[in-house]
Each structure stands twice: as C-alpha cells, then as structure tokens.
Structure 1
C-alpha cells in the first residue's frame, strides 16, 4: 500500500468513524430514553410494567425531545472541542505543556532531535514541522495536526535523552508516517467526538453536585441527584463504547506506522530498539500530564498503565510490535541510563549527525554539487528517476533521498541555516531567494521602502552567502524557514506577505521559479485553502477539476519552452498521459499568477487515487523536450506540495540553475 492508497483509506476511515459514532449516539439516546421512562414511571408510584409500556407512556413527542436534546448536547460539545483544536497540532502540543524548539534549542539533545526531524523533512520534500519537547521522563512521541502543513511532532524529554540517534530516527519516522498517511486528521476528529459523548457524564456530575448543595427542597435535591447519577452512567457508557472504537482504529494503524518507519529508514534496528528501551525504562511510556489520556491514541506507545482486558489499549502490546520488527528478540532488559550524548565541547553545531559520505555518494545524492552532470546521467535515467519518485517515493523517500537530506543539512552554509531558524532573518532569507540579478536594484528599492530596517540589515548580512549558494538549496531553505515564519505576529506576517508579492511583481511578470517558491511558501503558511477560488465551480465539480488539471499541464508545458509548437507537443503528451482529450493550448501570456493559484485550489480536489496519474502526466509534459531542468522539477514539486503529495528531491536531474525562460504574467487576468 502506497501513500495514495493510505490517503484513500484515511477518507474511508473518516466516514466509518462518523458512522460508528452515530451508532453510539443512537445507543445513548436509547439508554437515556429508557432511563427517563423508568424515572418517570416509578416517580408516579405506578405499578410495575414492561419496558415497552414505560416507553410508550412517555409519548413520541417526549422521545423526540430526548433525541434532539442528546444530539444537540453532543454536537455542541464536539464542535466546541474541535474549535479549541482548530489550531491543529500546536494546540495539542501546548495543552500537554510542550515547548517549541525549532527557533532556539537549548541542549545538545534538543538540537539532535531537531536535526533528525529536519533531515527527514528535507528528504521527503515537506516543510519542517514544529517540534515540541514535553517535559516528561517517559519515552513517547506524537504527531498531530490536520495536514502536513500544520503538523507538529512532539517528543518527550525522556525520548530525546534516552534514545540513541538511530532509535530517535525510528521514532520520528514512525510519526512522519502518521503525518503522511492521513492519520492526524482522524485522530483530532476522534478527540472531538469523544468529548461530545463525555460531556453527558460531565453534566451528570454537575447535577450530582447540585443535588448535594442545592436548595432546601429535599425532593428537588433528590431528583437532581438521581438525574445526575443517571446521566453519569449514560455518559460513561458512551465513553466506554467510544474508547473501544478509538482503540480498534488506533491499534492497526500503529502496526502500519511501524512498517512505514522501517521502509522510511531502511532499518528495523532503530524503531525496534526504541520499543525495547520503552519496555525496560523505569518511566516506560506513561505520560504524567493531566489530560494525557485524551490524546492517548496519538502517541508512539501507550500512555496508559492498565486497560480492561486490553479493550481500551490504544496500541498493540510492546512485545507484539517488537516481535514483528525483530523475530529474534528474547525479552526486555531493564535500563534507566541515558544514552551517551555528544561531548559538551562539541557545541550545538557539531551534533548534525550526518555520517561522512564518499565523493561518489555526494555526486549521486547532491545534484549539481560537482558543477556538471555525471557522465552516466542520461536523459532516460533522469526520466526514470522522476517517474520513480512520483510512482514510489511520494511520502516514502529512497535511501538516496534520505542521504540527500542529511547531506543537504550538514553542508548548507551556516549563515543561511542560522537565518532559517530566526523569525527576523528568515524573512530576509526568503526575500533574498526571490531576488533576480536583472531586477535586484528595483527589488532592493521596494524592500527599502516597505521592509523593517532590522530585516534589511539581516538581508545585507546574508547577501554574500546567497550570491554563492547553489540553486538546489532554494526550496529546502524555504522548508527550513517555515517554523520561524509561523512564529511571526499577524501584522508582521501580513507585511511579509505583501513584500513577497511586491518582489514577485517587480518587473511585471512572475518567473516559474518565483511562482514555485511562492506556492510552497504560501501553502505551508496558509493551510486553509482559498475557498473563494472554488465558489464558481461547485455546480460542475468534475469538469472544473479536469479544466484545472489541463491548465497545470499548460503551465508545465510553457515552463521551459519559448516556442509555442514545442510547448503544444509537450502539453498534448501530458494530456494523453492523463487520459483526456487536450484542449487548445493557452498562450504563455494566459498563464497568470491568479489563474494558476485558482487552478491549484481546484485541482486539490482530485481524488487521492487519481493524483499519481496527474503527477505522472505533469512529469511527462516537463520531460517531452528531452531536457529535465531543475526549475521544472521545482515547479513539479510545488504543484505536488499544493496537492498535499510530499515529493522528495529527485537525484540525478540537471542543476536548478539550468536555463529557463518560462514566465507568468504578474497582472490580473
């Protein structure tokens, strides 16, 4: 099962989850109706009767009122909780007391953990997620959010200090699989729905307290107490069944995430070693936060000490998971001693952890590093690499791509890496990445008039490094900058966004390379889609999606072709690969910024199992002229990113600095 299959399954699981909880709500309505029927019957001092007679005595109006009340209570409570979690993973991490470390890690262990997360993000072609450290001695972790662009990874203090680097990589790879496989959105929905059912029990608790401390009327207090006790039982009955559903869904997904982590790291030693260490660790994986149980199904390992006959276990037993990963395992050995850390004299910069690679490895995993194409890097090999990446490496980087992520992080200029982790300098870094030699004077004038003076000073410091920076660092540096840019205050962000757009439009047109960077940036920073761009497409959704897909093919055809006929042939080849009849190719001047943004917003509705076909059609279009330029790969990566298909770097393609003259009109269409 690949990334797209997982995405499709996640959609079906969401539908199944809603159906199961709907059945639980119906069960709660039935139990509540029965309770009120019993209470009403015996409060009148009537003789014994059958349950059917008691319910009939209530009348259908009363039963309908009960159903409406229970449904409303659950719906309002669920909506309220989901609104609290609207910020995505950040809200969950902060509710557990997490501290974000992307901008300023304080210890060697925190720096090492951040390096591991950044390496995997760069290898998979995704923005670096926010990383939170939870001050807890237990060994545990979680991924939370609605989609990759708002995902966070939480790691306990025990996790980052007790595990070796290889084990930490296994844990982080496990959490990345949850990010890619659509599990996070389902997890948050479970939290909201469970809260809706639990609220009935909370109301019961309030009524019980009212029965103890109410007015002087003893009968009134008794009635409140009785109703409260009944609602308490009803509420926890619903929670019982809700937890059963949560546990059943989570257990199977943990096995899948373990397998994905092995595929991600190409080793079972790391994740198996982490699970073994949890079993022998004094604190185990049991989190101490007061609300830790609410998110129990999100963790790397179970945070609950006991569960009724395993019914409430949100994770498979540790032994079962370890045995699947390491059939030769002989059992737990107690350990509470932390893994040796890097010597204190090494400094934070020395903990990157990337193993030395040979010159051959560097040439294979770092395209453009030698300044020329490798002799055996033929066009067909390049095309095979692109198709292999689209077919098999979306959200599943190859060992070469993982090595690329490590090498990229370790070899990137220190000044640029440091800038990517600072909110002020990150803005200057993005401005610098958007600069073009031909328009630099005009763009600098724009920044002088509209950017913060401190940002301008940072930009001046970065200019020498930016001038010498290989172009293949452009999108990875944007990915590294995302956590720092997310830390901007709303007003700072709006000024930053306006300046980005001004730089794009400085010369009256937008180059393909500029648009690709802009889309990756905006998709990561503004996770809510542009809903207004889809309003006029609702009546004919399937046709609109097809039109949007063809427009993206047209943009790819014009990206590196100045001649209309050459672009037309590339466009038609892509349309055939997509299985549609091509429309007349729009002129290059029709490929505007606004139209591309709208096409991306509409094409994001493409069904998960249809997305690989679209990406392969785009790859066919870009490769049709016999040259695969790095800027075309950037455009393909940007489109894949906006379709929520994390696309790793493509080793073996020509440098990103290859000639490309494709431009977009900067004016409205």
Structure 2
C-alpha cells in the first residue's frame, strides 16, 4: 500500500468512524427512550411493556429525546474539536508539554530534537514542533490534523532512558502516523468521545443538583431519575465509544511499527525501546489526568495495565516485540537513567553508505519516486538527513532555530542567482526588512555559500518551527516582504514561488482558502496552469516549453490546449491553482505529479533543480517526496 492508498484508507476510516459513532448515538437514544418510558410508567403505578413506549411517551416526546441526545453529543463534540482546532500543539500543551525547537536546554533535549529533524529531512516534510512532557514514563505521541500542524511529544523518560537508535525507532513510528493520515482520525475520536461523555456528565449534574431537595417533590424526583438515566446512557455510550477507539487503534500500532522498520531498515532499535518500557519501573503510563483522553495517540499504552483488556488501545508489548524480534527470549531490558544521555548526539554513518543529492535523475527513477517514495523514506534518506545536519554549520543551525534569524535565512534562500537581479533584491530588503535582519543576512551568507542549491528545501523545513513562533504582526510583515521580494524583478520564477508556497503552507492553517473552487473542471484547469508554469520554468524558448507542456497534458489524458504565455504566470494565479489542486482526491494526485515529471523530463533526464521544484510543489499538495539521492555527494552543484 503506497502513500495515496493510505490517505484514501484514512478517508474511509473517517467515514467508518462517523458511522460507528452514529450507531452508538442511536443506541443511546434508544436506551434513554426506554429508560424514560419505564420511569414514567412506574411513576404512574403502571406495569411497563416495550410495546407501550409510544402510548406512554408519544411520538413527539420520543422525537424530543432523540433530538436532545443528538444535540448534546454534537455540541460536546464541536466544543472539544474547537479546543483542538490549533492541531497538535493543543494536545501537547494540555498534557503540560514544553516546546523544544527554539531552546533545548541540555544534551538529551538537543539529541531528541536532532533525531526528529533528521527524520523530517528524510521524509521531505516540515520539521514538526517537538514538545517535552515532564513524565518519567517512556512514551511519545504524534498529534495534529495534517503534517503542517503536526507535533511530536516525547516524555522525559523517553529522551533520557533510550539510546539514539531506540529514540530514532520511536520517532520513525510517530512519523508514520503523521505521514499515513492517522492523526486527523485520532483527534476526531477525541472530539466524538467527548460529546458522548457530556451526556453522562449532564446526568451527574442533574442528580447532584436536584437530589438533596427532592423529598416530597414528585417532579424533582422524576427529574433526578431522568438525570440518572442520562448517567447510565452516557457511561454506556462511553463504553461503546472506547470499544470503537480501541478497535481502530490497535491494528494501526502494528502498521506504524512496520513502517518505522521500513524507514530505518532496523528493527532492533524499536524492539529495544519496547523492551525498555517493559523493564522500566515507570513503564509507559502517564500520571497526567488527560492521559486517558488521549490514550490512543501514544506510542505505548498511556494508562496503567488493567486486567480488563477490552479497552486497550495498544497491542500487548509482548506481541509487538515478537513481531519485531521473533527470537526474543522474553526478558525485558532494564533502563538506567542517564546512560543513554551519554551516547553521541550525532551518529557516524558508514562511509560506504554515504549518499548525496542527485545532480540529475533518469526519468523512470523520478517517476518511481512518485509511485513508491512519497511519505516512505528509506535508510539511505535517513542517513542523508543525519549527514546534512552534520554538514550545516552551527551558525546556520542556530539561525534556523531562532525566530529572528530564521527570517534572514529565508531571505537568503530566495535570492535570485542572476547577479543583477540579486543586487536589486538586496537593495529592496534594505528598505523593507528590519536593519538587524539585514545584518544577520550578511553574517549568515558566507556560511550558506558552500551548501548546494539542492538543500534549500531542507533548510526551509528546518526554519518552520522558529517561524511559527512569530507573533501575527511579525508574520504578516515577513509574508509581505517575501511577496515583494518575489515581485522585485517584475516576473515570477516558479522555483521562487514554490519555496514561498512551502513556507505559507506550513505556517498557515488554511492558506488561500478563499481561492478554492468546487466549479466543475476547476481541478483540470488548475492542473493545466501548473503544468504550463513548470514547462516555462525549464525552457526559455516557447517551442520547447510547448512540447514539455503537451507531454504533461498527455500524461493526464487531458485535451491538448494552447500553452499560456510566460507573462500569464503570476503569483495570484499560481496560488489559486495550487489551492484548487490541493482539493483533489488522494488517488488523483499521483496522476498530476507524474504529469509534472513528464513535463520536467529532458531527453530522459530530470535535473536536480527540477527535482527540488517537484518536491516543493508536491509538499504544497501534502504529498511529501523524500530527497532523491546519488552515491556521490560531491557531484551536487554548489551555490
């Protein structure tokens, strides 16, 4: 199953989830109606029979009960989902998490952040915010609606008791949840369960508020009885909801374990992490009161072991370990605090396995990357992420982690290669950017010079967490400056726009929402325009661009139409096209990406800069392509 099939399955699972919870609500309505009819019959001194429900209550009352229950569940769910609208950060902060990306405080925290950054570079996604949960338990979670608002949470026990390989296995497991679309489903489960729980809480409040003064007052007694009915119905609904949550969660944990092994090509790190959980006195259970609510998000069970395993959101540790290590002797590993902290902060990859960005790639290799590599990094790409962080100077890394300096780094990455146009951009920045940011650019530029152009996308992804920390006013000024920078030469270069879109897509919840369209044929028109823009980006003359454009149209089985002129390729139209293309169904997106590869193809070869352009556009479509690698890093072109 590839990335697009996973995404399609996630959509189906969301529909299944809604269907199951609708069934649970229907059972709640039936139970509440039954209990209410019985209470009314008993209050009248009459015998109760199921056949008498309509006579006892009347259809209007039955309908009123159904609408009341449905409204309570809907309002409770919407309220919770509104609380979680910020995405993964809302979950992490409710668990008491502290963000590490900007200011890690010790070696363990820096190593944890380093491991997550490597995995993000390897998978081609923006670096997620990393939160530290102050718990001795060994656990982790990924939360959010999509890769752009995802966070990874790590407990104190996780970063201090696990060595680097074990921590990498845990991080790979959580990245699989990010890439496979599990997170959105997990947050929806939290919201729907909260709606059902509200029914029981409402009944509890009714009983608690009415019962002490209910003596001698038949009406109050009936109301208290109704409250008790709601309590029973609510807790019954919660029982059913937890069953649904457990059933949907357990199998996905096995899949995430398998994906993590596929990422790292090493099952020992993940298996060892699970063995340490089993051998640790703290285990994986969190003491935070919110742990039960988010239990299905964690790497391992966030709750204390129970004999009643029906509600278990995770498979037993033994089963997970045996799938990873069939020869396991059944003994868990003791984890000693501090021992892992002394292990190296950065790995030393095997020189024989080193690889670098490709200078160019054969057409079929690039096409294969669209088919099978999206959201599916391999060990070579993980090692590339490790090595890239080792290559980047300490000054550049520090700038990428600082909200102020990250702006200077982004400006540098968007400077044009043409000397005259670059000079005009520099003069513009002196007028519109903060003087201190301009000075920061001057300090960073010598450190950026040795790095190849093909790492621009990775550097942008590293900057994302720091740029998220900008206050709204700072961000809006920064965004306006970027747009002015793109327009400085009177034309839009597609690669400049693509890098700009990567940032906007990562930093804004719903970028260009107003540009989306449901009009018939809108997605085809958007695809045509994107193919035209890409055709012009690789060809300065009209006829080669026209041939490239027509190749892309044929790959999408679209009618050949005239190629729009290069003057028509402007920022608003590009933004609108990518916003509409982002609405395409998961199984439709690979056709567009393959058509882009056909458009970029030059005599069977796709250039390195064009591969990065493809990756940037794919990122804006939520289809992260890992870096394409060669066996010789020195061949990559320099800035």
Of 454, 457, 467, 1:475 maps to 457
For the structure 1 residues 440 and 558, does the alpha-carbon distance in structure 2 shift closer, same or farther, using more than 3 Å as the test?
closer
* Cα distance in 2 between the residues matched to 1:290 and 1:444: 53
TM-score (norm 1): 0.91
* Cα distance in 1 between the residues matched to 2:382 and 2:445: 29
TM-score (norm 2): 0.95
| Residues 341-364 of structure 1, C-alpha deviations (whole Å, 9 max, x = no match) | 455xx9xxxx54131443x654x3
8 Å CA contact retained: 2:207, 2:228:
yes
1:605 counterpart residue number: 583
> Which has the larger displacement, 282-291 or 86-95?
282-291
In the alignment, does 2:141 pair up with 1:107? no
8 Å CA contact retained: 1:426, 1:484:
yes
2:23 counterpart residue number: 23
* Cα distance in 1 between the residues matched to 2:442 and 2:16: 55
Q: CA deviation at 1:35?
A: 1.3
1:522 counterpart residue number: 504
Q: CA deviation at 1:214?
A: 4.6
* Cα distance in 1 between the residues matched to 2:345 and 2:549: 43
* Cα distance in 2 between the residues matched to 1:218 and 1:466: 80
Of 545, 555, 565, 1:567 maps to 545
| Residues 344-400 of structure 1, C-alpha deviations (whole Å, 9 max, x = no match) | xx9xxxx54131443x654x3244xxxxx6xxxxx7x53343223212111111222
Written as runs of structure 1 = structure 2, the 5 A alignment for 1:5-44 is 5-44=5-44
2:356 counterpart residue number: 365
Structure 1: gaps spanning 5 or more residues: 368-372, 374-378, 660-669
8 Å CA contact retained: 1:127, 1:524:
yes
* Cα distance in 2 between the residues matched to 1:42 and 1:177: 55
* Cα distance in 2 between the residues matched to 1:126 and 1:632: 18
Q: CA deviation at 1:573?
A: 1.6
In the alignment, does 2:571 pair up with 1:593? yes
Secondary structure of 2:311's partner?
coil
Q: CA deviation at 1:56?
A: 2.7
8 Å CA contact retained: 1:211, 1:223:
no
* Cα distance in 2 between the residues matched to 1:247 and 1:239: 12
1:663 counterpart residue number: none
Q: CA deviation at 1:614?
A: 1.8
* Cα distance in 2 between the residues matched to 1:539 and 1:576: 23
Secondary structure of 1:293's partner?
coil
| Residues 7-37 of structure 1, C-alpha deviations (whole Å, 9 max, x = no match) | 0100000011111111111111111111111
In the alignment, does 2:61 pair up with 1:54? no
Q: CA deviation at 1:454?
A: 3.1
1:256 counterpart residue number: 255
How many pairs align?
Answer: 635
1:76 counterpart residue number: 75
* Cα distance in 2 between the residues matched to 1:243 and 1:319: 23
For the structure 1 residues 219 and 49, does the alpha-carbon distance in structure 2 shift closer, same or farther, using more than 3 Å as the test?
closer
Of 584, 591, 595, 1:617 maps to 595
| Residues 265-289 of structure 1, C-alpha deviations (whole Å, 9 max, x = no match) | 1111111111111111111110110
CA RMSD of aligned residues (A): 2.1
* Cα distance in 1 between the residues matched to 2:274 and 2:412: 44
Of 419, 426, 433, 2:406 maps to 426
* Cα distance in 2 between the residues matched to 1:128 and 1:605: 23
8 Å CA contact retained: 1:210, 1:221:
no
2:447 counterpart residue number: 465
2:172 counterpart residue number: 173
* Cα distance in 2 between the residues matched to 1:195 and 1:361: 49
| Residues 407-444 of structure 1, C-alpha deviations (whole Å, 9 max, x = no match) | 11110122111100000000111111122332344333
Of 376, 381, 384, 1:404 maps to 384
* Cα distance in 1 between the residues matched to 2:436 and 2:43: 74
| Residues 558-614 of structure 1, C-alpha deviations (whole Å, 9 max, x = no match) | 111012111111122222222222222212222222111111111112221222222
